[in-house]
Amino acid sequence: MKKLSESIHSQTGYQPQSVSKIYRSDKISKVRYWFLGLMLFLIVFLFLPWTQNISTSGHVTTLYQDERPQEINSIIPGRIVKWWVKEGDFVNKGDTILELADVKDEYLDTNLVKRTEAQLEAKEQKIIFYNQKITAIENQIQAIESGRDLKLRSLENKLEQFKRKLISDSAEVVAAEMENQIANQQLIRGKQLFSQGVIPLTELEKRTAQHNKTMAVLTEKQQKYLNTKQDINITKIDMNSVQQETADKIFKSRSEIATSRSEIATTGGEVAKNQNQLSNYITRGKQRWLIAPQGGQIIKARKSGINEIVKEGEMIVEIVPTKVNYAVELFVEPMDLILINIGQPIRLIFDGFPAIVFSGWPQNSYGTFVGKVIAVETNRNENGKFRILVVPDTHEKPWPTQLKMGAGAKGFALLKNVRIWYELWRQINGFPPDYYKSDENKTKTTPKK
């Protein structure tokens, strides 16, 4: 058609407007520039940073058990007398919620506490009497021990005298032995000299008589020494006899003390039993009023009206604390659990709070809140996932004050920063995110020398 138009124009000099408007043969196409620009943009986009993350869900909770919703149960069985609050009311710690009346016969006596106190006082007085008896016997034992000590001191003095005498007798025996040895040697030399004819027989006889005399003296001294030792042994026996007699008397007295203490222990057990009963009666009387353990809102009232019977341990109402340190529990797939570490940052979105999220660029997201992992459970939950607990990061924007227990939450665990092309390649191949540890958990390794 273009050639036909040119031939018509060359022959007739007429140029059809349709040809110029439809084919625009004089225009230069810019498609390739757009294509090159788009390709350049895609290449640059592939090298932009991307934050790997793990998407989880959970709900708002608290780290402390006493800040979670808790049941208020009746400790004793009873009959409802009066309701002091209605469902939905806010109460403070110590406020009365419900008043009960006892229904068991054994607790209906109005003077039950006073009668129990009288029994307790009588048994405590019995213990006082036994203690006085023990004191008297102990004084008697002290008197017996004083008499024993006096006798022992007398015998010890006597024993000391005999020991000094024994030393003197021992010295006399040693001296007599020396004289006897000298006389014996003189007799031996005299016999030698007499056999040689140096001394006469009379001299030998004198030496023999002297030897016999020293032998007699030695025997006398030895006998005296043995008698003194015997006196010492007799004195020791007397001392043992005194101690034995005193021990028998003391043992008998201590046996009486043991009997009295046994009675005290038995009575003490009865006193403890009565004290326990008295404390139980007093405490049971206080349990007729159901008291709020802490400030909160009353919900889920299970009983209604007056004169209804409640069982022991039965739930009456539930209280939701007003002062709560909020946390978020999230559930992570087992495959992603290894990527979660203590102190790791988590981006959170709460139900009811608008947010615009760019999962790969958390800094550009709007309406998210920052938390950090404080605990990772090591046991799998009922839903097949592992639970992690997240608390607010004090260095970031505070969490909303309008949060409620059990509200839904979504979390994004921030992992390693990578390029977009790498993240696309990982997603296409089905690889998990890179193993990552926060800076707080990294340990510094020193090279070995």
Residues 249 and 135 in one domain: yes
- Strands 90-91 vs 70-73: parallel, antiparallel or unpaired: unpaired
Residues 329 and 317 in one domain: no
Q: How confident is the model at residue 440 (pLDDT cuts 50, 70, 90)?
A: very low
CA 449, CA 445: separation in Å to the nearest integer? 12
* Residue 33, domain member (yes or no): no
Ordered alpha helix ranges (H), 13-111:
17-23, 31-46
Q: How confident is the model at residue 445 (pLDDT cuts 50, 70, 90)?
A: very low
| Residues listed for the chain | 449
Residues 210 and 237 in one domain: yes
Q: Average pLDDT of 270-280?
A: 85
How far apart, in Å, are the Cα atoms of 372 and each of 338, 348, 388, 438? 16, 10, 10, 11
Has residue 446 got a pLDDT over 50?
Answer: no
Query: What is the predicted pLDDT for the residue at 389?
Result: 92
Residues 125 and 271 in one domain: yes
* Residue 31, domain member (yes or no): no
Q: How confident is the model at residue 390 (pLDDT cuts 50, 70, 90)?
A: very high
Residues 146 and 161 in one domain: yes
Q: Please, how many CA atoms are within 13 Å of residue 51, restricted to the half-sphere of its CB? A: 19
Q: Average pLDDT of 74-87?
A: 86
Q: Average pLDDT of 293-304?
A: 85
At which residue do the structure tokens 């797939």 appear? 333
Has residue 108 got a pLDDT over 80?
Answer: no
* Residue 91, domain member (yes or no): yes
Torsion of CA 374, 378, 383, 388, to 10 degrees: 10
Which one-letter DSSP state was computed for residue 321? E
Q: How confident is the model at residue 195 (pLDDT cuts 50, 70, 90)?
A: confident
Give the helix/strand (H/E) hosting 101: strand 96-101
* Residue 27, domain member (yes or no): no
For residue 269, which phi and psi values (nearest 5 degrees)?
-60, -40
Tokens linked to 97: 């919620």
What is the CATH classification number for the domain harbouring 298? Answer: 2.40.50.100
At how many degrees (to 10) do helices 31-46 and 420-429 cross?
80
Residues 268 and 313 in one domain: no
* Residue 20, domain member (yes or no): no
Has residue 448 got a pLDDT over 50?
Answer: no
Tokens linked to 232: 């010492």
What is the CATH classification number for the domain harbouring 152? Answer: 1.10.287
Instruction: Provide the percentage of residues in the chain whose pLDDT is more than 70.
Output: 84
Do 358 and 90 form a contact (C-beta atoms < 8 A)? no
CA 66, CA 62: separation in Å to the nearest integer? 9
- Does residue 131 or residue 108 have the better pLDDT? 131
Do 80 and 310 form a contact (C-beta atoms < 8 A)? yes
Q: How confident is the model at residue 219 (pLDDT cuts 50, 70, 90)?
A: confident
At which residue do the structure tokens 């994004």 appear? 412
Q: How confident is the model at residue 438 (pLDDT cuts 50, 70, 90)?
A: very low
Residues 183 and 256 in one domain: yes
Mean pLDDT of the chain: 80
Q: Which of 306, 321, 336 is the last residue of a domain?
A: 321
Q: Could you report the per-residue pLDDT of 196-214, keeping only the tens digit for each?
A: 877 788 887 888 888 888 8
The residues, any chain, with a CB within 8 Å of residue 311's CB and separated by 6 or more, are 74, 77
Which regions of 180-325 does DSSP assign to beta strands (E)? 289-291, 296-299, 309-310, 315-321
Query: What is the predicted pLDDT for the residue at 393?
Result: 87
Q: Average pLDDT of 75-86?
A: 86
Q: Average pLDDT of 63-70?
A: 85
Query: What is the predicted pLDDT for the residue at 231?
Result: 85
Q: Average pLDDT of 104-117?
A: 78
Residues 164 and 263 in one domain: yes
Q: Average pLDDT of 145-169?
A: 85
Domain that holds residue 359: 52-63+325-416+436-449
Q: How confident is the model at residue 431 (pLDDT cuts 50, 70, 90)?
A: low
* Residue 117, domain member (yes or no): yes
Q: Average pLDDT of 259-269?
A: 87
CA 143, CA 352: separation in Å to the nearest integer? 89
The residues, any chain, with a CB within 8 Å of residue 376's CB and separated by 6 or more, are 337, 340, 341, 342, 386, 388, 389
Count: domains in the chain: 3
Query: What is the predicted pLDDT for the residue at 155?
Result: 83
Residues 410 and 396 in one domain: yes
- Does residue 327 or residue 14 have the better pLDDT? 327
CA 180, CA 270: separation in Å to the nearest integer? 82
Least confident of 39-48, 130-139, 398-407: 39-48
Residues 148 and 265 in one domain: yes
Query: What is the predicted pLDDT for the residue at 442?
Result: 43
* Residue 133, domain member (yes or no): yes
Q: Which of 321, 339, 367 is the last residue of a domain?
A: 321
Residues 282 and 386 in one domain: no
Has residue 20 got a pLDDT over 70?
Answer: no
Starting from the edge strand earliest in sequence, which strands make up the sheet with 78-83, in order?
A: 289-291, 96-101, 78-83, 309-310
Give the helix/strand (H/E) hosting 100: strand 96-101
CA 393, CA 385: separation in Å to the nearest integer? 24
Query: What is the predicted pLDDT for the residue at 189?
Result: 82
Has residue 50 got a pLDDT over 70?
Answer: no
Q: Give the three-state DSSP class for 60.
A: strand
Residues 296 and 272 in one domain: no
* Residue 1, domain member (yes or no): no
- Does residue 420 or residue 80 have the better pLDDT? 80
Highest mean pLDDT among 98-102, 110-114, 371-375: 371-375
How far apart, in Å, are the Cα atoms of 426 and each of 29, 418, 420? 38, 11, 10
